Structure 1
């Protein structure tokens, strides 16, 4: 048993899962209590579900392996665990992107064009999030084929050993197609996040400039709850991009080298767990600001 690894993986799994479940329960409680459900709440619920699913499916096997139990999953279990990991991670990327875009639309100027766009965006959010789950379930249908338990990889040379399961490195043609599909989705989401974040920064800057000319202390001394909620979304996006950059470096290493080093496998697992662990606590600050705005109204 490696106690250091147990502690390292136990921390994000416990803290991150509790944070995501707390945020999810808070959102469901408000909905069941008769509070008016906001469109953005739907995105947050699915994001917390995806983050929790990823943390549990990635973290628990790593903890079990650190305890020395490396053969606790059979072939079906390995395929299911990895399929849940990649699907949940993809949905997390998509919903984070949607959250950023929708917040940018929400705080945009109330012109006729933007008002119509807000109504259309709010109307189709539920369908879009469900579509994300279906899309990533179909996109990652190849994953169970290349994953197996450790008992079935004795004659396979080109594998990545995760201690509890193994991933086979297939031909370059199949790998290139799969990587191209995944990267095209991720790059599109990153572009949308950069656009929406830039829009929010510009809108918030203009709002700050206008409020500087207002000398009433109750308005000028403190930013509005909507502004601070937007700032928390910006922090969330910056956090995502930072962890995604680190995760991409690990992914490139896996793609270039047949035999991945032990430290690389562990570091990759911790890096991928970073955003799902931190994001619920950033979103909790947003919930606080929005609730403050609701009470004032």
Structure 2
């Protein structure tokens, strides 16, 4: 094993371990509140699905990539590769969808009573629950063609072109056909990103108008920072901006890997690294903005 493979393997190992621990810690917090009779908001339901999707991405992309980098060259097999990459794509899609729903739900929640979103406030919880329930089968259906192209890296290629994607490869017989399928797979992502950005702009606008109104009436004790809704909105905006940043970088590297016939070792690993950045850091963003996350844990230890 070369020194560069060892370094990138350790990086993947640390990233995957930290991400798994962060997601399971946050999930433990919500489960603790549920079983101790704590009141869980609708937003927590969305976060639970986000945690589940992030965990799927880490286990299906981070773990195999770590094993390959540390010298397990024959892992996974063709069938294992098809399954792992399909799980990765579904988890990634649900992560995009739940982050989009999270921003939309919060934009509706903080909207003024005289806005056009006011009529959706009462029904928002029902609509969000239904949307999350449809999110999983939707992305499972959209990514059903993924296993058709994926294969293990150990397989020999004679006619079809090979696109190296880290621990797996994609076999392509027609680059135009592959581009059409890639555009189809990216359509749902583009829709979610568009809705996410619109909801974020709406939230920023609402917070700005609220701040201007508070400053106008000189009531400092009603600062937006002291409002639970405003703090939650700022957390979601931070989460969305982090998601968009990592998603953009991941997409750029992934396009480069797909376009180049023989992508470099660094390019392939950077694409895999950025693909798991958001699942790794998102739970810590949520925990850093919520000072009450660790209190139930410490109370349970003291008891």
TM superposition score normalised by structure 2: 0.88
C-alpha distance in structure 2 between counterparts of 1:156 and 1:13, whole Å: 36
> Is 1:4 matched with 2:7?
yes
Of 126, 129, 138, which residue of structure 2 is paired with 1:126? Answer: 129
Distance 1:128 1:217, change over 3 A: closer
Of 110, 116, 120, which residue of structure 1 is paired with 2:119? Answer: 116
Instruction: Supply the RMSD in Å over aligned alpha carbons.
Output: 2.3
| Number of the residue aligned with 2:299 | none
- Segments of 5+ residues of structure 1 without an aligned counterpart are 293-297
| Number of the residue aligned with 2:142 | 139
Of 238, 241, 254, which residue of structure 2 is paired with 1:238? Answer: 241
CA contact (8 A) 1:226 1:290 kept: no
C-alpha distance in structure 2 between counterparts of 1:131 and 1:48, whole Å: 17
Of 12, 16, 21, which residue of structure 2 is paired with 1:13? Answer: 16
* Runs of 4+ off more than 6 Å: 289-292
CA contact (8 A) 2:60 2:84 kept: yes
CA contact (8 A) 1:158 1:259 kept: no
**How many angstroms does 1:225 deviate by?**
2.4
How many residues align? The count is: 292
C-alpha distance in structure 1 between counterparts of 2:240 and 2:225, whole Å: 23
C-alpha distance in structure 1 between counterparts of 2:87 and 2:273, whole Å: 17
Of 179, 184, 203, which residue of structure 2 is paired with 1:176? Answer: 179
| Number of the residue aligned with 1:82 | 85
TM superposition score normalised by structure 1: 0.90
C-alpha distance in structure 2 between counterparts of 1:289 and 1:181, whole Å: 42
Query: What's the CA shift string for 1:19-42, capped at 9, x where partnerless?
Result: 111111211221222223311111
SS of structure 1 residue aligned to 2:123: helix
> Is 1:206 matched with 2:209?
yes
- Segments of 5+ residues of structure 2 without an aligned counterpart are 296-303
C-alpha distance in structure 2 between counterparts of 1:178 and 1:275, whole Å: 25
| Pairing of 1:124-273 with structure 2 (within 5 A) | 124-155=127-158, 157-162=160-165, 164-220=167-223, 222-273=225-276
Question: For structure 1, which segment, 211-220 or 197-206, has the greater mean C-alpha deviation from structure 2 after superposition?
Answer: 211-220
